[in-house]
Amino acid sequence: MVASIATSAFFPASSGKSPLSKTSNGSGETVKAVNFSPNPTTPSQSTRAKSAIKAVSKVEDYAATEPDRVAPPPPSSPAPRTIYNQLPDVSFWLATVMAIVIAAADRHFTLPDWRPKRPDMLSDAFSFGKIVQDGLVFKQNFLIRSYEIGADQTASIETLMNHLQETALNHVRSAGLLGDGFGCTPEMTKKNLIWVVSKMQVLVDHYPIWGDIVEVETWVGSHGKNGLRRDWHIRDYNSGQTILRATSLWVMMNKLTRKLAKIPEEVRDEIRPYLCERMSIVDEDNRKFPKLEELNGNSAEKHLRKGLTPRWGDLDMNQHVNNVKYIGWILESAPMAMLEKHELAGMTLEYRRECGKDSIVQSHTTVYSDCTNSASQDSASIHCEHLLSLESGANMVKARTAWRPKQVQNKSIVGTASTAHA
């Protein structure tokens, strides 16, 4: 109590009343405390201090004479106004912020690490693609996804063919030559011209599995007076091993008349800086395809699938069936026994006629085995002749495929990859 009275003397409260205004002594008498409120007529602090000491002495003398009677505590008064107690109380907010920070830190260390464990899974490996080798080659990477895996637990041939088509279009776009059409340059758009593939040859060394990253390179070159050549080379991103090589020939068609057209000089000037005389397949398959009558006249095993019709999703931006869809139709007539024990090693396709949304297609397959003994056909290579035709009899696509026995190590590799991705 003495300390509080002394403190009030030096740091007076804002109220004009003293903390000890009146104190009862039990007999009806009251003890009047000194008023410690600031007085402008007070000459100095020393005078106020002396008055406070006298008041304290009187209270102590009274307490000494009446030991059984203790005065009740004085009523509470507002805290002195200082620079410290006028600041806002931020302790609660600081405590809240610290609790959030600690909780976030605990959660960060307890959550499983989401970052990829393999260096090849970094995001920069899947960039849109870039033009390399003095602007002549376009390169892009693709991740083999689970829904691109077929019954063999490897990427399907349609998946790889879609990668070829995607890189071809991205090459044109990266070069700044993409007009309004599907792979058309600005000058081609003005003249209602489009590119159509006339021939394609593909050689497959092996098929990637789920989780593999493939690196696709593509480039273009001239072919004759009115043709364009486009080649591809697919490698494994990690090992650099060749997966697939392909080459194709393209010609121009008028989008309105649907007839073949010559390449205008304006279009030649657009594509000339990007022409490259590099070839992915040196020994091309230039053999002539047999006619349907010749196929039906021999004694080889024949298979037919009728009533194939394009869906709306099979059409591209030029309103005709995408060329990758033709490959699926070709395999529709291939015998199941061959598909189960052999894999496609190569194919050559010759496109004769486009397919519209109302077309009805027939798929013909003639199987030739390189082994005359049927007991050992499972370990022998097989080649087939294929024909896609309209019900009216017009030929759309002729194809030749080569098949080899399936590689045994595929299943063990896929099992390891599946376990790693689980």
So which residues are the catalytic ones? 318, 320, 355
3-class secondary structure, 139: strand
* Residue ranges in 66-128 assigned as alpha helix (H): 91-110
Q: CA–CA distance from 185 to each of 138, 249, 258 (Å)?
A: 17, 17, 18
Other CB atoms within 10 A of residue 158 CB: 15
How far apart are the C-alpha atoms of 224 and 268, rounded to whole Å?
Answer: 13
Please give the structure tokens belonging to residue 304.
């037919």
Name residue 168's amino acid. A
Name residue 299's amino acid. S
Instruction: Give rounded-to-5 percent helix, strand, coil for the chain.
Output: 30, 25, 40
Tokens 């003249």 appear where? 191
Contact assessment for residue 337 and residue 393, using Cβ atoms and an 8 Å cutoff: no
Contact assessment for residue 251 and residue 240, using Cβ atoms and an 8 Å cutoff: no
- Cα-to-chain-centroid distance, residue 303: 42
Q: Which of 27, 31, 29, 36 is nearest to 4 (CA)?
A: 36
Axis crossing angle, helix 45-65 with helix 2-10, rounded to the nearest 10: 160
